[in-house]
Amino acid sequence: MLKLIVQRLLALLPLLFIVSVLTFSFTSLLPSDPVDLIIGDTGTEEQYEIVRERLGLNEPIHLRYLQWLGRAVQGDLGSSFFNSVSVMGAVMQRLPVTLSLTAMSALIAIVIGVAAGVAAALRPRSWVDRFATIGATFGQAVPNFWFGLILVAIFAVNLRWFPATGFTPLTESPWEWLRSVILPSIALGTSSSAAIARQVRSAMVGVLQQDYIRAARAQGLSTRRIIFRHALTNALVPVVAVLSFQITVLLGGALIVEQVFAINGLGTLAIAAVRQQDIPLLQGLVLVMVGLVVLVQLATDIIYGLLNPKARPS
C-alpha cells in the first residue's frame, strides 16, 4: 500500500514542477509593471529603483524563479502587490469555501451518478436509463452557473428554502454550512453526475456479462451481493480512472458558480487578481489549485489500486 502511494506521488511530482515553471514564466509576461502598481503614479525615480531592488526584479529570471520556488516549497508564496497581504494567507482563507463546494458537488455527482448508473445497467431502457442518457446529453449543454441561477430563482427567491447568497463556514454551524453549499453544489454536480452515470452504466453492463458474475450466481450468492460486491467493484475501476478529471472540472466550475451565489472563494480572489494584475496572487492560486488536483489524482490512483489488484506494484 505504502509502495503504491510513494510510487504514485513520485510520478506526480514532475507535474507540479512543470506547472510551477509555467506559472512563474507566464505570469512574468503580465503587461503591467508591478513597481508602478506599488508606488503609483506619484513615485520618484529613486523610489522606483528601491522598490524594484526590493522585489528582486533586477535579478535574472531563472534566479527569481528559484528563489520563488524555494519559498513556495516552504509555504511562502510572497505577498500581494496590491495590499501586501500574504498570498498563502489569502488563499488559505478562501480555500475552505471552494473546497466545500468542490467536495460537496463531487459527493453529489458520485453518489447520484453511481446509483443511477447501476439502476440503468440493471434495467436497460427503463426510465432511469433514459433519464441518465438524456441527463448526460443536457448536462453537457447546460452552463452550471445558469443552472445555479435557476435554482436560486426557484428554491431561494420563490420558496425561500435556502439562502440565495453567502457562505457559512463548517466550523461555525454545520447545518448552516450545508444549507449554504447545497444549491451551488447541486448546480455544479448535476452534469457530472449524469456523465458518471453514463460511465457506470456502460462499465456495469459489461461487467454483468462476465463469466465471474455467472460463476458467482452458480455458487448461489445473493443477487444483491453479486451486484454490489462482485460487479460494482469491477465496474468502478474504469470510472475511478477518469474521476480525477471530473473533479478538476468541478474545481474549475466552482470558480464561476461561486459568483452566482456571491460566495467569496478562490474564484472571487482570482477575478480580483486578474483585474488588479496581482502577479504573486495569480501564481499562488494556480499553484494551490494544481496542488489540489495532484492530491485528487493521488487519491483516485490509490482507490484505483485498491479496486484493481493488477494495478498494484508487485
Which residues, 228 to 247, sit near other proteins by CB under 8 A? 230, 233-234, 237
**Least Cβ distance, residue 191 to other proteins (angstroms):** 10
Residue from the set 10, 31, 42, 58 that interacts with other proteins by CB under 8 A: 31
Q: Which three cell numbers stand for residue 293?
A: 488536483
As a whole number of angstroms, the distance between CA 112 and CA 190 comes to 8
Q: According to the binding rule CB under 8 A, does residue 290 interact with other proteins?
A: yes
Q: Hey, is 96 helix, strand or coil?
A: helix
Q: According to the binding rule CB under 8 A, does residue 73 interact with other proteins?
A: no
Q: According to the binding rule CB under 8 A, does residue 142 interact with other proteins?
A: yes
As a whole number of angstroms, the distance between CA 192 and CA 299 comes to 18
Binding region for other proteins (CB under 8 A) out of 105-113, 153-161, 181-189, 198-206? 153-161
Q: Kindly write down the DSSP assignment for every residue of 206-242, as one continuous string.
A: HHHTSHHHHHHHHTT--HHHIIIIIIHHHHHHHHHHT
Q: How many residues of this chain interact with other proteins, rule: CB under 8 A?
A: 71
Q: According to the binding rule CB under 8 A, does residue 273 interact with other proteins?
A: yes
Closest-CA residue to 166 (of 77, 258, 239): 258
Residues in 201-230 that interact with other proteins by CB under 8 A: 210-212, 214-223, 225, 230
Choose between 16 and 43: whose C-beta lies nearer to other proteins: 16
Q: Hey, is 79 helix, strand or coil?
A: strand
Residue from the set 5, 9, 30, 51 that interacts with other proteins by CB under 8 A: 30
**Least Cβ distance, residue 90 to other proteins (angstroms):** 16
Residue from the set 286, 300, 301, 304 that interacts with other proteins by CB under 8 A: 286
Residue from the set 137, 161, 228, 313 that interacts with other proteins by CB under 8 A: 137
Residue from the set 260, 265, 280, 300 that interacts with other proteins by CB under 8 A: 260
> In sequence order, what are the beta bridge partners of 79?
86
Four-CA torsion 173, 178, 180, 185, nearest 10 degrees:
150
Q: According to the binding rule CB under 8 A, does residue 173 interact with other proteins?
A: no
Choose between 90 and 293: whose C-beta lies nearer to other proteins: 293
As a whole number of angstroms, the distance between CA 247 and CA 109 comes to 9
Q: In which residue are the cell numbers 510520478 written?
A: 11
As a whole number of angstroms, the distance between CA 129 and CA 198 comes to 9
